[in-house]
């Protein structure tokens, strides 16, 4: 009744829509399991997109967006809203994963999600989410030939839901209470069936005791268990965050977290406590922040503590043309009783980034990061290095130049990951380039091209690339045609026969309408 009553159209009813349909031609050769980007590209007729948006009356709106509708695939979103009363959002996706080179062994995942929100009063909101995910089909273990504990088939249903109520007062105080549930049914093995439920609550209180002090408190209580055996674990958490901002230039924050997990499977109770604080100071164009956190994990068998230290300097010019940030952090774990397998762990990271807008429409930037993780007692160390640079150009044109809009972007990324283990090592480098050019011309033509290229080296030798070209033309009376051509390439130079090439062409005819 709520929906029907809302959907009464009046003279202000306005609708826009577009439909595009056509065909896909896919010519592929090689190992079909290596190029995930083509797993869900199906040859044949397809409704490429079906889009409808509009309003029945000034307060009731609908958006309907379907993509790639064909015999093998379908995806879509729906939003129906009456401003200030309710909104309904739903999403559905199907996707496929290919396990073997000839494409004969594959599994599908179907994902449905929906959320209903009600706002019956100014101070009280209700919302409910539901998600159903099904997996079915074939499965291969890794490496090939290994008998996997998950078997050779998928057939499972995963149900999730969340119901929450938000309350707020005109003073700014508010809170949420919620229940989250999960139910997994594995139709091939009852052992894997699980169910769980968590009850949680938040309270947000600005201005208690002192009008520049904000409090956020969270708590939760839940259980997750195996349906067949009843074996489970219980979770309890409490969090408090206090945010103090006595002056515009200073902000301080303290967070406490306490959590407990009682695991019936191992008969262990794991307690985790976190004390974390940070301070931020602003002066002109600079913001300096630093923080320290201490954690303790105690599972009745071992005790580990963690120190976390972090610092950052951010710079922002008053005209917002240049921003930069430098950050450093460490996290060190200490096995207080020397009985865990990995013992102590030392982790450090620092990174820097800069983004600039030198002139209108142009953005240029770069980033650099380095991280290291060492487990001295085990004799293992991992190092990672990353550097990237990018540029973007966006411009809307006016006048008689013929070009209405242009977009150019280019980015380059380099990474180096080096793992030295107690036995053996693994080292991989990657170079990644992506670029895109697009232009709207003479009010009728849209043209674009893009490239994605990746080269992986050291212990691997893989090249992967995707080239794309697209062209669209607007015909009279709302009609249009568009075409896209993609070339996919994958080559693994260390494994015989592990290559892939595909040429895919999309051609669509479209129609666009508006009642306005």
Partner 1 sequence: MRHPRRTIFAFALILLSFVFAFAIRGARSTQTDAVSDEACLDCHESQVHAMVGTAHDPAAGRFVSCLGCHAGAATDRHLDDPDENPAVNPAHMRADSVTAVCATCHEHPHTLNLYERDPHADADLSCTACHRVHDNTHLGLLKDEQKTLCFSCHPSAQGDFAMPSHHPVMEGVVVCSDCHLSVAQSSKQRVYTGPGGTCTTCHAMFEGPYPYEHQAAVDYSTEEGGCLNCHAAHGSAQPRLLKQSYQSPDFALCSQCHVVPKHQNNVNHGSSWAGMPCNDCHVDVHGSYDNAKLLDPSLAAQGCTAVGCHQF
Site for partner 1 in 468-487 (CB under 8 A): none
Residues 377-396 that bind partner 1 (CB under 8 A): 378-380, 382, 386, 388, 390
User: By CB under 8 A, which span of 1-9, 441-449, 456-464, 475-483 interacts with partner 1?
Assistant: 456-464
Binding test (CB under 8 A) with partner 1, winner from 122, 402, 405, 442: 122
Binding test (CB under 8 A) with partner 1, winner from 66, 76, 251, 508: 251
User: By CB under 8 A, which span of 20-28, 232-240, 442-450, 477-485 interacts with partner 1?
Assistant: 232-240
| Residue 115 Cβ vs partner 1, minimum distance, rounded to whole Å | 11
The pair of three-digit structure tokens given for residue 438, joined into one six-digit string? 């697009």
CB atoms within 10 A of CB 7: 13
Residues 6+ apart with CB under 8 A from 175: 166, 167, 168, 201, 202, 203, 204
Identify the helix (H) or strand (E) that includes residue 425.
Answer: strand 425-441
Q: b vs e for 127-156, b when ≥16 Cβ sit within 10 Å of the residue's Cβ?
A: bebbbbbbbebbbbeeeeeeeeeeeeebeb
* Separation CA 331–CA 294 (nearest Å): 10
| Residue 238 Cβ vs partner 1, minimum distance, rounded to whole Å | 5
Q: Is the link from the previous residue into 119 a cis peptide, with omega within 30 of 0?
A: no
40 three-state secondary structure? coil
Is 501 an interacting residue with respect to partner 1 (CB under 8 A)?
no
Binding test (CB under 8 A) with partner 1, winner from 234, 370, 377, 416: 234
Binding test (CB under 8 A) with partner 1, winner from 70, 452, 468, 503: 452
Residue closer to partner 1, measured from CB, 269 or 330? 269
Residue closer to partner 1, measured from CB, 386 or 473? 386
Residue closer to partner 1, measured from CB, 257 or 511? 257
Phi-psi region of 213 (alpha: psi -120 to 50; beta: other; left: phi over 0): beta
Residues 137-166 that bind partner 1 (CB under 8 A): 141-143, 146-150, 156, 158, 160, 164, 166
How many residues at the interface with partner 1, by CB under 8 A?
Answer: 167
The pair of three-digit structure tokens given for residue 65, joined into one six-digit string? 């967006």
* Separation CA 450–CA 108 (nearest Å): 29
| Residue 35 Cβ vs partner 1, minimum distance, rounded to whole Å | 8
| Residue 140 Cβ vs partner 1, minimum distance, rounded to whole Å | 10
Residue closer to partner 1, measured from CB, 430 or 508? 430
Is 437 an interacting residue with respect to partner 1 (CB under 8 A)?
no
**The 3-state secondary structure of 86-130, one letter per residue:** EEEEEEEEEEEEECCCCCCCEEEEEEEEEEEEEEEECCEEEEEEE
| Residue 477 Cβ vs partner 1, minimum distance, rounded to whole Å | 24
| Residue 360 Cβ vs partner 1, minimum distance, rounded to whole Å | 17
Q: What are residue 37's phi and psi, to 5 degrees?
A: -65, -20
Binding test (CB under 8 A) with partner 1, winner from 15, 39, 42, 511: 39
| Residue 77 Cβ vs partner 1, minimum distance, rounded to whole Å | 7
Residue closer to partner 1, measured from CB, 46 or 156? 156
Residue closer to partner 1, measured from CB, 270 or 480? 270
DSSP assignment of 162-211: EEEEEEE-TTS-EEEEEEEEEEEEETT-GGG-EEEEEEEEEEEEESSSST
Residues 399-428 that bind partner 1 (CB under 8 A): 411, 413, 415, 419, 421-426, 428
Residues 167-226 that bind partner 1 (CB under 8 A): 167-176, 180, 182, 184, 186, 191-192, 194, 198, 200-209, 211, 214-222, 224-226
Residues 83-112 that bind partner 1 (CB under 8 A): 83-85, 87, 89, 93, 95, 109, 111
* Separation CA 50–CA 56 (nearest Å): 19
Residue closer to partner 1, measured from CB, 245 or 481? 245
Binding test (CB under 8 A) with partner 1, winner from 21, 132, 456, 474: 456
Largest CA distance in the chain: 77
| Residue 299 Cβ vs partner 1, minimum distance, rounded to whole Å | 5
Residues 318-347 that bind partner 1 (CB under 8 A): 325, 333, 335, 340-342, 345
Binding test (CB under 8 A) with partner 1, winner from 21, 245, 474, 505: 245
* Separation CA 500–CA 22 (nearest Å): 26
Q: What character string, x for contact with partner 1 (CB under 8 A) and - otherwise, covers 262-291?
A: xxxxx--xx-x---x-x--------x-x-x
SS3 content of the chain, % helix, strand, coil (to 5): 5, 70, 25
Phi-psi region of 367 (alpha: psi -120 to 50; beta: other; left: phi over 0): beta
Binding test (CB under 8 A) with partner 1, winner from 118, 261, 348, 403: 261
Binding test (CB under 8 A) with partner 1, winner from 297, 404, 486, 506: 297
Distances (CA, A) of 387 to 18, 133, 270, 456, 489: 41, 37, 39, 15, 25
Strand partners, 509: 21, 481
β 232-247/303-316 pair status: unpaired
């Amino acid at each position: 009744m709520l929906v029907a009553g809302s959907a009464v159209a009046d003279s202000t009813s306005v609708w826009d829509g577009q439909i595009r349909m056509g065909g896909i031609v896919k010519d592929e050769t090689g190992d079909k399991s290596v190029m995930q980007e083509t797993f869900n590209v199906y040859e044949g007729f397809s409704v490429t997109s079906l889009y409808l948006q509009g309003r029945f009356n000034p307060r009731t709106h609908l958006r309907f967006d379907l993509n790639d509708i064909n015999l093998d695939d379908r995806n879509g979103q729906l939003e129906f809203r009456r401003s200030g009363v309710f909104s309904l959002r739903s999403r559905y996706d199907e996707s496929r994963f290919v396990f073997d080179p000839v494409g004969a062994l594959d599994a599908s995942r179907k994902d449905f999600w929906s959320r209903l929100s009600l706002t019956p009063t100014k101070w009280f909101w209700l919302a409910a989410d539901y998600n159903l995910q099904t997996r079915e089909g074939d499965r291969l273990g890794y490496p090939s030939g290994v008998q996997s504990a998950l078997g050779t088939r998928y057939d499972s249903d995963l149900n999730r839901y969340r119901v929450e109520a938000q309350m707020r007062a005109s003073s700014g105080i508010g809170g949420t209470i919620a229940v989250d549930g999960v139910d997994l049914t594995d139709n091939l093995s009852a052992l894997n069936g699980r169910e769980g439920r968590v009850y949680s609550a938040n309270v947000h209180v600005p201005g208690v005791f002192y009008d520049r002090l904000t409090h956020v408190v969270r708590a939760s209580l839940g259980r997750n268990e195996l349906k067949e055996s009843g074996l489970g674990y219980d979770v309890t958490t409490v969090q408090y965050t206090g945010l103090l901002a006595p002056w515009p230039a200073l902000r301080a924050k303290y967070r406490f977290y306490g959590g407990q997990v009682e695991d019936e499977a191992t008969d262990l109770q794991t307690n985790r406590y976190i004390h974390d604080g940070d301070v931020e100071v602003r002066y002109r164009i600079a913001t300096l922040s630093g923080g320290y956190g201490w954690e303790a994990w105690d599972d009745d068998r071992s005790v580990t503590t963690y120190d976390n230290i972090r610092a950052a300097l951010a710079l922002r010019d008053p005209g917002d043309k240049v921003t930069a940030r430098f950050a450093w952090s460490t996290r060190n774990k200490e096995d207080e009783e020397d009985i865990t397998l990995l013992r102590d762990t030392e982790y450090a990271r620092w990174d820097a980034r800069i983004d600039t807008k030198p002139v209108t429409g142009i953005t240029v930037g770069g980033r650099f990061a380095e991280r290291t993780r060492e487990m001295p007692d085990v004799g293992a160390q991992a190092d990672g290095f990353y550097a990237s640079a990018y540029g973007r150009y966006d411009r809307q044109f006016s006048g008689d130049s013929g070009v209405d809009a242009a977009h150019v972007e280019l980015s380059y990324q380099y990474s180096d990951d080096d793992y030295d283990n107690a036995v053996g090592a693994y080292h991989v480098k990657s170079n990644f380039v992506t670029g895109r050019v697009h232009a709207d011309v003479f009010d009728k033509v849209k043209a674009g091209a893009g490239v994605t290229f990746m080269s992986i080296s050291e212990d691997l030798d893989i090249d992967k690339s995707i080239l794309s070209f697209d062209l669209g033309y607007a015909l009279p009376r709302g009609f249009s045609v568009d075409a896209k051509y993609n070339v996919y390439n994958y080559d693994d130079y260390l494994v015989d026969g592990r290559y892939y090439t595909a040429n895919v062409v999309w051609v669509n005819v479209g129609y666009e309408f508006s009642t306005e």
